Amino acid sequence: MKIILINYFKKTLYLYVLIGFGVCQAGSYDDFFKAIKRDDAQTLQQLLTRGFDPNTLDPQGQHGLLLAIQEPSPMAAKTLVDAPKIDLNTLNMSGESPLMMAALKGELDLATRMVKKGADVNKTGWTPLHYAASNGHVAVIKLLLENYAYIDAESPNGTTPLMMASMYGSPAAVKLLLDEGADPMLKNQQGLTALDFASRGNRPDAIALLSKAVRLKQATGTW
């Protein structure tokens, strides 16, 4: 009888421990995503120090770091990037990585931190360089090129960073890519060149830069 009672109390205690652990984890889960939304780096760091997984997904399957960049919550994003166990190459449902989102927003410091920690500069498909070029973020473009980003990377439909810069970016971004060797003669799957992109976007400065680059290519026979 004594043994039965001891086993009963052991099982009961174990059950309470499990319930308590579950409640604790549930609380931590909520606190984690609240801290990201509020850009509360202190709470976030406390959770990580206690062992909370920085790669935890929210109920919609979104990674905390991507959420922090999108908010934006810059201090929370920095804290997560610096976390030892962070997965910097996680992708959202659109195939976008944290480095891509930082490049799109021109977050140079954050992008630099991620590159130093091994974020994939040349992921397949749309790349961080495409995203930086789209918004004309020259400093981020330089960072990516300095870290061996492929300058003529092709998206799934063959679009290059130069094409994106020509239609959506800035003249400075177009000039930088051309100066660094981007090929203005390439065509995407629709048969469009960077000059076509600039024309469709009604970008006179980009048109002038690209027209000059094309003439030079044709004159030197390097195309």
Give the model's confidence band at 222: pLDDT under 50 very low, under 70 low, under 90 confident, else very high.
Answer: low
Backbone angles phi, psi at 162, to 5 degrees: -60, -40
Q: What's the predicted TM-score (pTM) here?
A: 0.86
**E strands present in the chain:** none
Location of structure tokens 């998206």? 155
Q: Please give the CATH number for the structural domain made up of 92-223.
A: 1.25.40.20
- Report d(CA 26, CA 105) in Å as an integer: 32
Please determine, for residue 18, whether its predicted confidence score (pLDDT) is greater than 50. no
Residue boundaries of the structural domains of the chain: 1-50, 92-223
H/E element, 72: none
- What's the whole-number average pLDDT of the chain? 90
The predicted pLDDT at position 218 comes to 87
How many other CB atoms are there within 10 angstroms of residue 71's CB atom? 14
Tens-digit pLDDT profile for residues 47-103: 999 999 999 999 999 999 999 999 999 999 999 999 999 999 999 999 999 999 999
Give every CB contact of residue 81 below 8 A, 6+ residues apart in sequence.
Answer: 65, 88, 98, 110, 113, 114, 117
- Report d(CA 158, CA 132) in Å as an integer: 17
Indicate the range of 14-23, 132-141, 193-202 predicted with least confidence: 14-23
Tokens describing residue 162:
């130069």
Indicate the range of 9-13, 61-65, 94-98, 167-171 predicted with least confidence: 9-13
Q: Is the dihedral of CA 163, 165, 169, 172 positive or negative?
A: negative
- Report d(CA 99, CA 69) in Å as an integer: 10
Please determine, for residue 223, whether its predicted confidence score (pLDDT) is greater than 70. no
Give every CB contact of residue 102 below 8 A, 6+ residues apart in sequence.
Answer: 69, 77, 110, 111, 114, 128, 140
Tens-digit pLDDT profile for residues 95-128: 999 999 999 999 999 999 999 999 999 999 999 9
Tokens describing residue 186:
């390439």
Neighbour-count burial for 135-162, b at 16+ CB within 10 Å, e otherwise: bbbbebbebbbeeebebebbbeeebbbb
